[in-house]
Structure 1
């Protein structure tokens, strides 16, 4: 079975890199459907801070996840470069689209297996289970996200339900 950082042949894998709260992150390009400009988001009542609301993407309702808030930080501030990275997520065998609100998209990067280190054992501003690895880019690192954990629809749905229960109490 291939890891989240290399393809089945062990050759380089491509990632879409972006910034959130001034930090460099990347996700496997194979999970990305498209990148769109920040637009009108319809708020949904009783949602946790990390759910900004929903957008209409060619007739489909797509939830928008504020990655900065999802990582336990204050909600992001919208700028001219803010955009939505539309990704595929799978829950119970069904595909769902999510819009990830990021500060800016940087570039598509290619990393060889030798350029990828395991996640740090402790510390960091992002939950360790959200991290698939650390990509070496010269003297800097880019955090490689594990979409199946960072954007786990089941976990986010449970957090939404808990938020609604707390507000209703």
Structure 2
């Protein structure tokens, strides 16, 4: 963990707060039409059009074993871009609600405990502490790599 402050966009998935690195956030969208992909994994079951570009829509609730209620007035799509194995990856992330951009100090971030967590530890980069709660900082690169999104997205774009 670096000694720097992390600028983060906080989002809610069910009753948990997650933090996405603010530098990776490109835009926040209201729900848009989703093109379902036959036989796709639940994690990325659809594609969306973001300013003329086809972007996979990921649901982190699948990876973290959460319920998936239908979209409502608070649902947003956070478009993120990050480096994945040396290539830029753009994806939409479903959020039950978008909260705020905030700072998470380095000394408020801790390594993931090996036991006692309800989330897969491999997919959590660190846990942030804020007020009396926790903020989960997901490891987006590992989630997308381990869930096979790269191969599936490449195959769809290059039939």
Do both proteins adopt the same fold according to a TM-score greater than 0.5, normalized to the shorter chain? yes
CA contact (8 A) 2:84 2:141 kept: no
1:96, distance to aligned residue in structure 2 (A):
2.1
Q: Which has the larger radius of gyration?
A: 1
Q: Residue 130 of structure 1 aligns with which residue?
A: 123
How many residues are paired up?
153
TM-score (norm 2): 0.85
Gaps of 5+ in 1: 161-169
Query: Residues of 2 paired with 1:64 and 1:107: CA distance?
Result: 21
1:87 aligns to 2:91 (yes or no): no
Q: Residue 116 of structure 1 aligns with which residue?
A: 109
1:17 aligns to 2:10 (yes or no): yes
1:74, distance to aligned residue in structure 2 (A):
3.9
TM-score (norm 1): 0.81
**Map of 1:16-165 to 2, 5 A cutoff?**
16-152=9-145, 155-157=147-149
Q: Residue 155 of structure 2 aligns with which residue?
A: none
Query: After TM superposition, which residue ranges in structure 1, 4 or more long, deviate above 4 angstroms?
Result: none
Of 66-75 and 55-64, the range deviating more from structure 2: 66-75
Could you list the per-position Cα deviations for residues 115-152 of structure 1 after superposition, in whole angstroms to 9, with x for gaps in the alignment? Answer: 11211221323210111111111111111112221233
CA contact (8 A) 2:14 2:67 kept: no
Gaps of 5+ in 2: 153-159
Query: Residues of 2 paired with 1:49 and 1:159: CA distance?
Result: 15
1:69, distance to aligned residue in structure 2 (A):
1.4
Query: Residues of 2 paired with 1:115 and 1:91: CA distance?
Result: 26
Over the aligned positions, Cα root-mean-square deviation in angstroms equals 2.1
